[in-house]
């Protein structure tokens, strides 16, 4: 499964795997795909350094990349405390009441929230980059618009390709103007932040909008048939995130969450602002229902919403409060029905791709060579 | 582009085209696809008879089908007047006020609404079938659940295949249990009534759910690449509706509406209950915004909403009140940028399909034979 882009990056399959887990990222690259480690949870540079060292030691010399969350617009000199102060008391009370209704225990003293707003702030993303640029990463992706021009410049100086996610042709064109090398077309079906255009429509639209830049298709891809469909739509590869969550190498914070993912159907996700303030697809839970229902106070804009709920999410995960327990995940969660190794997932994708190509050739009246 | 289903129906391409316009349906079949005439607007059996005669005379002996809107559950002995009486006065006032705000003139005396609730009622659909079964139609499709068992039986006695639309694997399984022959998997991107699962995810899920029944993919398909993608996902053909709206053979009620369709982007549609009471994708307009915004009274359940707005929609179309003017259409409206003949659309689909197959073979390392 070779495209110009996969050849340029020196990988066997045009499969790009985004994951917050170093063991998954390394396993994707070892299996012939391109592993991309999500950096958003590394608020301490030393933690990122430790995990990049681990990836380096376990990637068998194969290429890999890093994904940061960096806003193009700088927020100058605002502290986390100042941002905290912008959260209305009624919203804090709603979080408190909702957690109390489900009997969610408090965190012990000093038990840090796993998901901090700081990971979204530019200075943190920059400190992550200062670490990452010391490693031989081949690709830098940004999940939140185009990265700032100086970051694109630094990446290019080091020979990295820069990728950015887009949910519309308009966003994709902005990325091209910002000097981005690869656009990830993130369809409505995808986990995490998504727009409203389905992958079937978005992928070719973005391909046309930014040609000749390569496009990776994201959203709704978890089988070899879906890989074939995305490549037929003009993508130069696929970008998969959700499918790795239930691999044996993944380190989800809770077994109950793994069980929820394995049993969820494609209709069990929701695009909700409850997690970050922007629409992000995630498991539908009584937590998202509380926010999105008529009794909710309405969500706050990014980054306030994420800051408001960070500790609540940690408590829900820590104590495995099942009705409230969720995670960003795409509609392909309906296919994630067993725990498999990363290698088994990649084998399934590549074999399924070959079968889909056989099928399409039969339909086109071309026999297999 | 041949699948078992297209061979069974004796058509050259596995392209199924749904349309309310006889000239479009006949042209699709003449071009080697399978035209399906939508019957919902025919409240008078003689009108349907006239148009089926026309199709028969213009289809050059090629096969074609009919699409009805028939609820599986019977509503016994309810008259339109009784249904009318269920509509709250506040909702009628909202319609009146909204039309007044835009200065939409009244219809002249006796100027009938083009879109009547009666078309949705079972007795009307049955009278349509009494007419249609005298014609050599090859396929009967139902847009609203499985048709009643006796209708499926009558169709099968006459050698027709019966198709039904489904927005989820659960609905698709119900169709199989009801003896349906073909499931149309209607993805989130589609125009008209849709569920929330994108075509990329829904198509293979429905294929797996009802195998070995054939599945047609609907939603997000308007180019040959998208046809190839749908077939790679396991569909035995594609079901296209929106793309025909801007063909030269189509007879939309308003030139202003044609212009709106030609200029709309993929992000200019909305899934709204404003038209029928169930979520249906359509052009986003100030009319849908009025219903879906905070100032709206909330939509009524089917069939009340459709009955409530029928005359309003006719007035908006009749007087071409542009800000309010809309139509059901899918996200591929972003690709509908010029008026073309049905033949030109079919040629574009089949050539684009061949190019997509070439591309996927190159990626798979299989050269073209």
Which residue of A201, A202, A298, A354 is the best one to mutate when testing the B interface, meaning the one whose CB has the most B CBs within 10 A?
A201
Residue A120's pLDDT is: 58
Helix count and strand count (H, E) for chain B: 14, 11
Pairing of strands B34-38, B215-218: unpaired
Describe chain A by its helix, strand, coil percentages, rounded to 5: 45, 15, 40
CATH code linked to domain B1-75+121-244+343-369: 3.20.20.70
Q: Report pLDDT for A112.
A: 64
Scan for tokens 């009794």, then name that residue.
Answer: A295
CB contact under 8 A, A200 and B204: no
- Return the percentage of chain B with pLDDT > 70, whole number: 95
Distance from the Cα of B331 to chain A's closest Cα (Å) equals: 7
Cα of A57 to nearest chain B Cα, Å: 31
ipTM of the complex: 0.95
Residues of A in contact with B205 (CB under 8 A): 266, 334-335
In whole angstroms, how far apart are CA B61 and each of A291, B24, B39, B135?
57, 15, 20, 12
> Which of B226, B267, B366 shows the shortest C-beta gap to A204?
B226
Average pLDDT over residues A304-333: 94
CA-nearest of B194, B193, B326 to B261 is B326
**Tens digits of residue pLDDT in A53-66:** 999 999 999 999 99
The set of residues, in sequence order, having a beta carbon less than 8 Å from that of B320 and lying 6+ positions away, is B254, B255, B256, B257
Contacts of B330 in chain A (CB under 8 A): 201
Better-scored residue on pLDDT, B119 or A95: A95
Q: Do A168 and B199 touch (CB under 8 A)?
A: no
pLDDT of A75: 61
Question: In angstroms, rounded to a whole number, what is the distance separating the alpha carbons of residues A40 and B196?
Answer: 29
User: Does the CB of B332 have a partner CB in chain A at under 8 Å?
Assistant: yes
pLDDT grade, residue B71 (50/70/90)?
A: confident
Using the beta-carbon criterion (under 8 Å), do A198 and B205 form an inter-chain contact?
no
Domain A1-75+121-244+345-363 belongs in CATH node 3.40.50.150? no
The reply to whether residue A363 touches residue B223, judged by beta carbons under 8 angstroms, is no
A-chain residues within 8 Å CB-CB of B188? 188, 198
Give how far A172 is from chain B: nearest CA, Å. Answer: 14
Q: How far apart are CA B323 and CA B102, in angstroms?
A: 8
Q: Which of residues 8-27 of A touch B (CB under 8 A)?
A: 14
Structure tokens at B207: 């294929």
Q: Is B233 on the interface with A (CB under 8 A)?
A: yes
Q: How many residues are listed for chain A in this entry?
A: 369
| CB-CB under 8 Å, B231 with A363 | yes
Q: DSSP class of residue B223?
A: S
Nearest to A357 among B198, B230, B364 (CB): B364
Candidates B363, B366, B368, B369, partner chain A, best to mutate (most A CBs within 10 A): B363
User: Which residue of B189, B232, B357 to mutate against A (max A Cβ within 10 Å)?
Assistant: B232
Task: With a cut of 60, say whether residue A34 has pLDDT above it.
Answer: yes
Place of tokens 């048709």: B147
Q: Can you give the pLDDT at residue B126?
A: 87
- Chain B: give the shortest CA distance to residue A2, in Å: 5
Chain B from 152 to 211: CB within 8 A of any A CB: 168-169, 187-189, 195-202, 204-205
Q: Quote the pLDDT of residue B119.
A: 52
pLDDT for A83: 79
Answer yes or no: is pLDDT of B75 > 70.
Answer: no
Residues of A in contact with B196 (CB under 8 A): 267
B32 touches chain A (CB under 8 A): no
Query: DSSP of A324-344, one letter per residue?
Result: G---B--GGGGG--S-B-HHH
Let me know: does B63 contact B34? Beta carbons within 8 Å.
yes
CA separation for the pair A230, B233 (Å, rounded):
10
Mean pLDDT of chain A: 93
Beta strands in B123-232 (DSSP E): 139-142, 161-166, 182-186, 192-193, 215-218
A229–B contact, CB cutoff 8 A: yes
CB-based contact B225 A233, cutoff 8 Å: yes
Reply yes or no on whether the pLDDT at A77 is more than 70: no
DSSP 8-class letter at A199: H
DSSP state of A15: E
Q: Does residue A113 carry a pLDDT above 80?
A: no
Comparing alpha-carbon positions, the chain B residue that sits nearest to A189 is B198
CB pairs < 8 Å spanning A and B: 163
Contact list, A267 vs chain B (CB under 8 Å): 168, 195-197
Question: Which pairing describes strands A192-193 and A280-283: parallel, antiparallel, or unpaired?
Answer: antiparallel
For chain B, percent of residues with pLDDT exceeding 90 = 82
Is 50 exceeded by the pLDDT of residue B369? Answer: no
Best A198, A238, A334 member to test B by mutation, with max B CBs in 10 Å, is: A198
Rg (CA), chain A: 20
Longest dimension (CA), chain A: 67
A3 neighbourhood in chain B, CB within 8 Å: 363
Q: Where are the beta strands (DSSP E) in A241-323?
A: 269-272, 280-283
Lowest mean pLDDT, pick from A32-36, A209-213, A334-338, B81-85: B81-85
DSSP state of A280: E
Percent of chain A with pLDDT over 70: 95
Phi, psi at B313, each rounded to 5°: -60, -45
In order of A269, B50, B168, B187, B242, the CA distances from B195 in angstroms are 13, 34, 7, 7, 17
Contact call for A201 and B188, based on CB within 8 A: no
How far off is chain A from B301, nearest CA to CA, in Å? 19
**Domain limits, chain A:** 1-75+121-244+345-363, 78-114+253-326
Q: Is A119 an interface residue toward B (CB < 8 Å)?
A: no
pLDDT tens digits for range B260-311: 999 999 999 999 999 989 999 999 999 999 999 999 999 999 888 988 998 9
Are β-strands A64-68 and B34-38 bridged in parallel, bridged antiparallel, or unpaired? Answer: unpaired
Distance of residue B46 Cα from the nearest chain A Cα, in angstroms:
39
> Shortest Cα distance from A153 to chain B (angstroms)?
31
Length of chain B equals 369
Asked if A368 reaches chain B (Cβ–Cβ under 8 Å), the answer is yes
Dihedral (CA of B112, B115, B121, B123) sign: positive
């Amino acid at each position: 499964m070779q495209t110009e882009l996969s050849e340029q990056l020196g990988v066997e399959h045009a499969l790009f795997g985004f994951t917050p887990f170093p063991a998954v990222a390394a396993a994707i690259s070892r299996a012939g795909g391109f592993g991309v480690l999500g950096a958003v949870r590394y608020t301490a540079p030393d933690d990122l350094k430790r995990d990049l060292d681990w990836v380096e030691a376990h990637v068998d010399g194969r290429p890999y990349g890093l994904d940061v969350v960096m806003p193009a617009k700088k927020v100058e000199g605002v502290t986390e405390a100042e941002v905290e102060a912008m959260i209305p008391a009624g919203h804090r009370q709603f979080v408190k009441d909702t957690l109390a209704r489900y009997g969610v225990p408090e965190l012990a003293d000093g038990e840090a929230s796993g998901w901090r707003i700081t990971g979204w702030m530019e200075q943190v993303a920059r400190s992550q980059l200062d670490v990452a640029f010391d490693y031989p990463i081949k690709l830098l992706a940004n999940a939140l618009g185009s990265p700032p021009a100086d970051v694109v410049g630094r990446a290019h100086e080091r020979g990295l390709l820069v990728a950015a996610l887009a949910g519309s042709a308009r966003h994709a064109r902005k990325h091209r103007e910002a000097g981005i090398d690869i656009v990830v077309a993130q369809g409505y079906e995808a986990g995490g932040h998504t727009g409203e255009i389905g992958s079937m429509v978005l992928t070719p639209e973005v391909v046309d909008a930014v040609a000749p830049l390569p496009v990776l298709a994201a959203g709704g891809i978890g089988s070899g048939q879906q890989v074939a469909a995305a490549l037929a739509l003009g993508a130069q590869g696929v970008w998969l995130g959700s499918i790795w969550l239930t691999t044996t190498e993944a380190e989800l914070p809770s077994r109950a969450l793994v069980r929820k993912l394995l049993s969820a159907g494609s209709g069990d996700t929701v695009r909700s602002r409850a997690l970050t303030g922007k629409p992000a697809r995630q498991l539908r839970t009584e937590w998202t229902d509380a926010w999105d229902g008529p009794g909710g106070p309405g969500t706050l804009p990014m980054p306030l919403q994420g800051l408001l709920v960070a500790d609540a999410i940690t408590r829900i995960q820590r104590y495995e409060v099942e009705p409230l327990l969720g995670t960003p995940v795409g509609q392909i969660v309906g296919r994630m029905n067993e725990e498999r190794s990363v290698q088994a997932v990649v084998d399934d994708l590549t074999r399924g791709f070959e079968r889909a190509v056989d099928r399409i050739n039969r339909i086109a009246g071309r026999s297999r060579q």
